[in-house]
Amino acid sequence: MTKFALAFAAIASLTAGAALAEDAPVVADADGNGVFSMEEVVAAYPAATEDAFKAADTNADGALSAEELAAAVAAGAFAAK
């Protein structure tokens, strides 16, 4: 749960405005491994594409860190539900 809260805080702090942060879906770290898989991202952002996910994965490890996810969300890489 702490990782979830930290990820949400990172996303919220990097969004442009308070209204945008309130509207942004929260990506849950369902397996608790500290990073976000494509499946976890798609659960919150159904329109997320593999290409957008790969572009957001700046260290190419196949998962998004909280920082990578927050940057992608702030950049509008994943469309909200």
For residue 45, tell me if it sits in a domain.
yes
Tell me, what amino acid is at 30? Answer: A
- pLDDT tens, position by position, 9-38: 555 554 444 334 456 689 999 999 999 999
**Vertex 56 angle, CA 6 and 41, to 5°:** 60
Global pTM? 0.70
- pLDDT tens, position by position, 51-78: 999 999 999 999 999 999 999 999 999 8
For residue 42, tell me if it sits in a domain.
yes
Residues 6+ away with beta carbon under 8 Å from 5? none
Burial class (CB in 10 A: 0-12, 13-18, 19+), 17: exposed
How many domains does one find in the chain? 1
Give the integer Cα–Cα distance in Å for 43 and 47.
Answer: 9
For residue 81, tell me if it sits in a domain.
no
| CATH code of the domain containing 55 | 1.10.238
Domain of residue 64: give its range: 2-74
